[in-house]
Structure 1
Amino acid sequence: MTDYETFELGDIVLSGDATLRAAKLAYKTYGTLNAAKDNVIVYPTWYSANHADNEWMIGEGMGLDPTKYFIIIPNMLGNSVSSSPSNTPEPYDRARFPRITVYDQVVLQHRLVTEKFGIEKIKLVCGWSMGAAQSFQWGASFPDMVERILPFMGAAKCSRHNFVFLEGVKAALTADAAFKEGFYDEPPRKGLRAAARVYAGWGFSQTFYRKFLDLQIPERPFGGRAPDVPWNYSSLEDFLVYFWEGFFLPKDANDLLSLIWTWQNADISGDPKYGGDFKKALAGIKAKAIVMPGSTDLYFPPEDSEIEVAHMPNAELRVCVSDWGHFAGDPRGTSPDIAFVDAAIKDLLAS
């Protein structure tokens, strides 16, 4: 049994000209679509996550309130639930799965929103990390449809520094002899554990580790739909093994690599109408926006967000001051800073 629905996309031609046949987009909705169809929020998933991993931010009284809004969480292609290397039949299975851009992801989500639900206006698109990249893309590709965007701890384009970090994760995954160029018989567990160790030095900030926050139980400001994530680590090594290796080991390596390619090639000017002109694409976002970087985020520093906001016609930069690095926005509920994100969502929706 599943807790989500599937939208059949049919045969789709992707930006790279490959055809993904019988493609599927998994999604889950929360709340009720009103008669005017004007209470819609799209809330895309983040790297390796599925819809359940986003539920922390949804709850009555919160910004993403299902008693007020119709919230759609579309699962990215490549995340193991929508069409992915791990669930696609030959010949485009596993390492042969075609490359998917953020533009492709959003175009397919647009089909879901319009063809399945008949929606013409979206009140808000918001998301963390890769969800932020999709939020920017929604605003750039469908400027007359999207009224507001709130990308938090993410970017409209993958920076060169961020690209290099991801090269380390790729190298760790593929160096395991069990990987077999993506056609493995058993999960490449050594590679998954190594990738977790690479990620661990980037997901949280230097200050996070300096203050031993991995060993302190965080104060959670409120509870959403998802259960609390355990946070009872006894040592740094325990944190690295239980939190980080435990996070990566259940994942499929090819799915992780597919999404890394999507992440590394994120660029809202990939929409053909912008012809690769990044500043033009930013200027094309009509939506009212709050762009929210984390003050100590090693992936998406505030300086990058400042450049984005400078070229957007209706955007505010609102920095989340936090010691938690990129995980200041973690929708799984580990961060005490989610209240800051939630307040910004409420402000934007009330504007």
Structure 2
Amino acid sequence: MSRDYEIFELGDHPLLGGGVLKGAQLAYKTYGTLSPAGDNVVVMPTFYTGSHDRNEGFFGPGRALDPARHFIVSVNLFGNGVSSSPSNTTGDQAGGNFPHITLHDNIAAQHRLLTERMGVTQIALVTGWSMAGCQSYQWAVQYPDMVRAILPFCASARTSPHNFVFLEGVKAALCADPVWNGGHYDTQPIEGLKAFGRVYAGWAFSQAFYRDGLYQQLGYDNPAALMDDWATDHAENWDANNLLCKLATWQAGDVSAGPVFNGDFKTALGSITARTILMPCTRDLYFPPEDNEIEAALIPGAIFRPYASDFGHCAANPGNDAGFTAQLDANIQELL
């Protein structure tokens, strides 16, 4: 079966923390056609447990993002099993020896893809859900002269201490499986992956989602059925080192990291020139709206536009909350 994406060979890709990702490969898929003026580019990075195909739920015919009008570039994160990852790397960086990757490293690679392979000089919009939204901020800080607008939804410009602790919890559940063996396993740590999925299910939705039985709208009879499904999904579809690679990238998320801003978060956000709408969900348990409200005050001209949904972080998952989808499209339309 032929693959439905393309590969950009980066060679040995320099990393912010030092060293290189050897023989790096960036996987991506495009939709639509680049306009003669080159002004219709929309970049959509992937989120934590997503690949390029999962982004297809955020655009389509008649939507605010439409391949008939826009040239959409859906780019896979390092570590997601499609771009260079612990699971598909060979040699001395395979598996548990895969290097630490930052969002800065991802965006530097994406910038090379757009400029070197596609000849893109301007981006109309960078947008995405969750960890993809975190990359939207990173794009605007790292390449401010190239990005005209950003719309991160259910995301943040810097991983908060509480978010970090949440991720430590799911990580600990996975790594407690002795089969994991510090990342040097011969077979997948199935019990650890199941535990990871069950713990994660408690954070992905809000308290009201469970209290009011909204899980029934997603086809589950009770919370236990939802947790069982999430456990099975993670055990059957994910490589443990890939999950932990991206988790470490997420935990280190900070647009001010690196030699340009040296941890000065306020100055980093103040450098953003892109038109900005921040769209958190009011009941998101790990990207709460309070964080975005602080960011909006630091980004020149930013609009803070939270959406109320009991689906929590997963309000953004296509098909879960029609109201969220409608507001997302309206925000995109406003920026474009």
TM-score, normalised to structure 2's length? Answer: 0.97
Q: What is the CA-CA distance between 1:236 and the residue it aligns to? A: 2.0
| 1-structure distance, mates of 2:326, 2:193 | 32
Say if 1:150 and 1:290, in contact at 8 Å, map to a contact too. Answer: yes
Alignment of 1:113-262 (within 5 A): 113-216=114-217, 231-242=218-229, 244-249=230-235, 250-262=237-249
Q: Deviations over 1:274-309 (max 9, x none)?
A: 121110010011000000110000011111001100
Q: Contact 1:141–1:271 (CA<8 Å) still a contact in 2?
A: no
How high is the sequence identity, in percent, across the aligned residues?
Answer: 51
Q: How does 1:75-86 map to 2 (within 5 A)?
A: 75-86=76-87
Is structure 2 residue 275 aligned with structure 1 residue 288? yes
Distance 1:246 1:145 in 2: 41
Q: Higher relative contact order by CA 8 Å / sep ≥ 6: 1 or 2? A: 1
What SS does the corresponding residue of 1:208 show, helix, strand or coil?
helix
2:308 aligned with 1:307, yes or no?
Answer: no
Give 2:12's aligned amino acid.
D
Give 3-state SS (helix, strand or coil) of 1:268's partner: coil
Residue range with higher mean Cα deviation, 287-296 or 263-272:
263-272
Amino acid at match of 2:132: G
TM-fit CA distance, 1:139: 0.5
Aligned to 2:102: 101
Q: Distance in 1 between matches of 2:320 and 2:67?
A: 22
Aligned to 1:228: none
What is the SS of the residue equivalent to 1:327? Answer: helix
1:30/1:158 CA distance change after superposition, 3 Å: same
The C-alpha deviation readout for 1:108-154, integer Å capped at 9, x for no partner, is: 10000100111111000001100111000000111111000000000
Amino acid at match of 1:254: N
1:48-70 superposed Cα distances (whole Å, 9 cap, x missing partner): 21001111011011111100000
Find the counterpart in structure 2 of residue 223 from structure 1. none
Report if the CA contact (8 A) 1:120-1:145 is conserved: yes
Instruction: State the one-letter code of the partner of 2:231.
Output: E
1:335 to 317, 321, 327: 321
Aligned to 2:264: 277
Counterpart CA distance in 2 for 1:117 and 1:204 is 38
Q: Distance in 1 between matches of 2:100 and 2:309?
A: 34
Cα displacement (A) at 1:272: 2.4
Worse-superposed segment, 270-279 or 138-147: 270-279
* Residue type at the aligned position of 1:288: R
For 2:288 and 2:256, the matched residues in 1 are separated by: 20
Paired position in structure 2 for 1:52: 53
Q: Among 304, 308, 316, which residue is 1:317 paired with?
A: 304
Counterpart CA distance in 1 for 2:119 and 2:103 is: 23
Q: Which runs of 4+ in 1 moved over 4 A?
A: none
The alpha-carbon deviation at position 271 of structure 1 amounts to: 4.2
Q: Aligned AA for 2:153?
A: F
**Per-residue CA shift, 1:18-54, capped at 9, x if unaligned?**
2211100000000001111111000110002100111
Secondary structure, aligned partner of 2:45: coil
| Structure 2 runs not aligned, ≥5 long | none
- Matching residue's letter, 1:84: S
Measured on the aligned residues, the alpha-carbon RMSD in Å equals 1.0
- Aligned-partner Cα distance in 2 for 1:5–1:165: 34
Q: Which runs of 5+ in 1 are unaligned?
A: 217-230
Q: What does 1:23-34 align with in structure 2 at a 5 Å threshold?
A: 23-34=24-35
Q: In structure 2, what is the Cα distance between the partners aligned to 1:52 and 1:6?
A: 15
SS in 2 for 1:91: helix
Name the SS for the 2:93 alignment partner.
coil
Which digits, 9 at most, give the CA deviation of each residue in 1:221-259, with x for residues without a partner? Answer: xxxxxxxxxx322222111112x1233121000000000
